[in-house]
Amino acid sequence: MLYLILLSVPAAVLVWHLTAKFKHHRQQRRRSALQRKPLPDHCQAILQRDFALYRKLPVESRAKLHGHINVFLDEKVFVGCNGMEITERVKLLIAAQACLLILNKPTDYYPGFETILVYPDTFVVSVTERDGMVHSDSVSVRTGESRHRGPIVLAWDQVLHGASDERDGHNVVMHEFAHKLDEENWSMDGLPVLANPQQYAPWKQVLTEAYAQLHRAIEQDSHDVIDDYGATSPAEFFAVVTETFFEKPKQLKHQHPALYEQFRAYYQLDPIQWGEARDL
C-alpha cells in the first residue's frame, strides 16, 4: 500500500506539471492568435476619437496595442455597477489605457485578477482604520481602486476624462493598473518586477531620492510636476509617477531626469517621442 502511495505521488506531480504546461501552451497559442488579429475599424475609430494618447502613438505601436487589447478583452470580465451599462466603448477605452502600460513590456496581462467593476461616476467605499486596539470606520469617495489580488474598480466619467485629456497628469486607469503591475511580486510597495537584477539598486536609489524631493517640495510649498498624492506612500508614488510619465513626459524629464530614465527603462517606452511636441 505504501509502495503504491509513493509511486502515485510522483505520478500526480507529473500529471499536474504536464497539465499546467499544456494549459500554458494553449494560452500562449490563443494569445498570439489574438495579438495578430486586427482590431475592427469601428473600434479603432472609437480610440481615435476618445483616446488622445492613441492619436499620438506611432502607427506600428498602434498595431501592437490593438493586439494587446484583443487579449485583454478576451481575458478580463467587466461588470457594471449602480446601473452602469458595459458597452463596447467602455471596454475598449479601459483596455486601451491599461494596455498602453504593457505595450512593450514582457507581460502576462495583469495576472491574479480578472474582474473590472465600473461605476458611472465616483463611488463610496467603507474604510476601517486600526490604531492599536482602536478600530474606526469611515466612508471614502473614490474615482478608482485596485483591490489587492482582487478587482479593479473605476468611475466611468474619470475613465473618459483620463482618455480625453492627455496633458493634465491624471489618468485613473493608468494609476490603478500601475498598482496591479506593482503587486505582481505580491507586495504593493512601489517596487515592481524589473527586467533584470542589476536594475533594482538604481531603481531604489532614484525613486527614494525623488520621493524625498517631492516631500520637500510639499513642505516648502514649491512646484513639483508630480502630484502631491504621490507623497502618500511609495506605492502611490509609483502609480502617480506613471501617470506623470505618460501625460507630462517632458516636464518629468526636465525636473527629474534620472526618474524619467528609470520609468523609460521600466516601461520600455519614451512618450516624449510620441506625436507633436509638447510645451514645457
The footprint of Zn ion (CB under 5 A) covers 236, 239
Nearest approach in angstroms of CB 150 to Zn ion is 14
Nearest approach in angstroms of CB 240 to Zn ion is 7
Cell numbers standing for residue 160: 473618459
Q: Which of 31, 33, 49 is nearest to 41 (CA)?
A: 49
Nearest approach in angstroms of CB 188 to Zn ion is 9
Considering beta carbons, is residue 147 or 204 the nearer one to Zn ion?
Answer: 147
- Write out the DSSP string of the chain: -HHHHHHHHHHHHHHHHHHHHHHHHHHHHHHHHHHHSPPPHHHHHHHHHH-HHHHHS-HHHHHHHHHHHHHHHHH-EEEE-TT----HHHHHHHHHHHHHHTSSS---SSTT--EEEEESS-EEEEEEEEETTEEEEEEEEESEEE-TTS-EEEEHHHHHHHHH-SSSS--HHHHHHHHHHHGGGS--SS----SSGGGHHHHHHHHHHHHHHHHHHHHTT---SS-GGGGG-HHHHHHHHHHHHHHSHHHHHHH-HHHHHHHHHHHT--GGGSSS----
Cα separation of 206 and 221, whole Å?
Answer: 22
Nearest approach in angstroms of CB 233 to Zn ion is 9
Nearest approach in angstroms of CB 37 to Zn ion is 33
Nearest approach in angstroms of CB 268 to Zn ion is 23
Q: Which of 266, 272, 275 is nearest to 104 (CA)?
A: 266
Considering beta carbons, is residue 183 or 236 the nearer one to Zn ion?
Answer: 236
Cell numbers standing for residue 48: 481615435
Position with the least CB separation from Zn ion: 239
Considering beta carbons, is residue 171 or 262 the nearer one to Zn ion?
Answer: 171
Cα separation of 144 and 130, whole Å?
Answer: 23
Nearest approach in angstroms of CB 236 to Zn ion is 5
Considering beta carbons, is residue 95 or 239 the nearer one to Zn ion?
Answer: 239
Considering beta carbons, is residue 65 or 239 the nearer one to Zn ion?
Answer: 239
Nearest approach in angstroms of CB 175 to Zn ion is 6
Considering beta carbons, is residue 227 or 236 the nearer one to Zn ion?
Answer: 236
Considering beta carbons, is residue 67 or 192 the nearer one to Zn ion?
Answer: 192
Considering beta carbons, is residue 109 or 229 the nearer one to Zn ion?
Answer: 229
